[in-house]
Amino acid sequence: MDEREALSRIAASLPDAGDDAAVVGSTVITTDMLHDRTDFPAGTTRYTAGWRAVGASLSDVAAMGADATAAVAVYADVEFDPATFEAFIDGAVDVCESVGARYVGGDLDQHTEFTTATTAIGETDAPVRRSGARPGETVCVTGTLGRSAAALELFEAEERLERANELFRFPPRVEAGRTLTAHATAMMDSSDGLARSLHQLAAASDVGVEIDRPAVPIDPAVDDVTDTPEDRWRAGTRFGEDFELVCTIPETALETAIDRCPVDLTRIGSVVPADRGVSVDGDPLPDRGYTHGDERA
């Protein structure tokens, strides 16, 4: 049983799990753990780690269409160093402030490797779940995909580390998420990669999805680190951890949604009946992506 199967079992037994965040009254809550070995390649600053870890939870709040109100984090390290700890807190505070939320502290621990567990909460009276997509609607994505994949290439090559850190500090799409609640029928973030996200959304909504490959907005940073169109496509759609929003919007609402969304919103395909599966340019799109908790090989 891998993480996805396990999460399915949790979802089956707990009515509130299985979306980007759990809904408790008008509050949404989500939690994540990230650690050195799997999530922070050598060269990642602690400021970036704080931003990215807390940002990942804020992204889940955004994916529910909620207003992010606060975040907390547990910070655990092998040895406690005040300077790196403060850099982490600075990153956590700054990413919260960037979306109008408050970083309100947390817990300290000692661990065998640098580990952080972050939790964010938000408020909404109308959470957007993964399950509301209907055939005939459009499939859209905010911003561009592949920033994290591009950053990882730079980290691994030990090149342009400042740029790599910048790419790793993604903007959580809280404002976009709030705007899209008025238009989107289903929404989630792309933290597992576009391909896997589309499969998850399709499964939750019991629909299929047809993607138009040329329409998928791949970040220009990906061009700098890939040589072939196939590498570029894979970096943009499979690597994940980009924390963009993937949503479905009725045709009639699309123009207004694009106008109002504070970041680029791109139509990348259409919702189709479930029996047509998830495809790109007519070929099946494999359900492959980043499984959180796996080590990057």
Q: Which is nearer to a copy of itself, 56 or 222 (CB)?
A: 56
Of 113-121, 195-203, 240-248, 254-262, which segment contacts a copy of itself by CB under 8 A?
113-121
Q: Which is nearer to a copy of itself, 87 or 257 (CB)?
A: 87
14/12 Cα distance (integer angstroms): 6
Confirm or reject binding of residue 10 to a copy of itself (CB under 8 A): yes
Q: Which is nearer to a copy of itself, 110 or 252 (CB)?
A: 110
Query: Min. distance of Cβ 32 from a copy of itself in angstroms?
Result: 5
How does DSSP assign the chain, residue by residue?
--HHHHHHHHHHH-TT-SSSSEEETTEEEEEEEEEHHHH--TT--HHHHHHHHHHHHHHHHHHTTPEEEEEEEEEEESS--HHHHHHHHHHHHHHHHHTT-EEEEEEEEE-SS-EEEEEEEEE-SS---TT---TT-EEEEES-B-HHHHHHHHHHHT--HHHHHHHHS----HHHHHHHTTT-SEEEE-TT-HHHHHHHHHHHHTEEEEE-GGGS-B-HHHHHH--SHHHHHHHHHTS-----EEEEE-HHHHHHHHHH-SS-EEEEEEEEEGGG-EEETTEE-------TTSPP-
Confirm or reject binding of residue 18 to a copy of itself (CB under 8 A): yes
Q: Which residue has the tokens 């621990």?
A: 109
Q: Is 230 annotated as a binding residue?
A: no
Please give the residues from 179 up to 208 whose contact with a copy of itself meets the rule CB under 8 A. none
Confirm or reject binding of residue 296 to a copy of itself (CB under 8 A): no
Which of 1, 214, 275, 297 binds a copy of itself (CB under 8 A)? It is: 1
Question: What does the per-residue mask of binding to a copy of itself show for 23-52, with x meaning CB under 8 A?
Answer: xxx-x-xxxxx-x-xx--------------
Q: Is 60 annotated as a binding residue?
A: yes
Which of 112, 223, 229, 255 binds a copy of itself (CB under 8 A)? It is: 112
Please give the residues from 72 up to 111 whose contact with a copy of itself meets the rule CB under 8 A. 72-74, 76, 80, 82, 85-86, 89, 93, 102-111
Residue 283 burial class via C-beta count within 10 angstroms: exposed 0-12, middle 13-18, buried 19 and up: exposed
Confirm or reject binding of residue 22 to a copy of itself (CB under 8 A): yes
Q: Is 107 annotated as a binding residue?
A: yes
Residue 5 burial class via C-beta count within 10 angstroms: exposed 0-12, middle 13-18, buried 19 and up: exposed
Q: Is 20 annotated as a binding residue?
A: yes
Are the CB atoms for 106 and 242 separated by under 8 Å? no
Confirm or reject binding of residue 8 to a copy of itself (CB under 8 A): no
Which of 14, 126, 157, 215 binds a copy of itself (CB under 8 A)? It is: 14
246/84 Cα distance (integer angstroms): 34
Q: Which residues of the shown chain bind a copy of itself in the complex (CB under 8 A)? A: 1-3, 6-7, 9-11, 13-14, 16-18, 22-25, 27, 29-33, 35, 37-38, 69-70, 72-74, 76, 80, 82, 85-86, 89, 93, 102-113, 115, 117, 119, 121, 292-295
User: Residues annotated in the binding site for ATP, as ranges?
Assistant: 106-107, 130, 191
User: Residues annotated in the binding site, as ranges?
Assistant: 20, 30-32, 39, 60, 106-107, 130, 189, 191-192, 241, 290
User: Residues annotated in the binding site for Mg(2+), as ranges?
Assistant: 20, 30-32, 60, 107, 189, 192
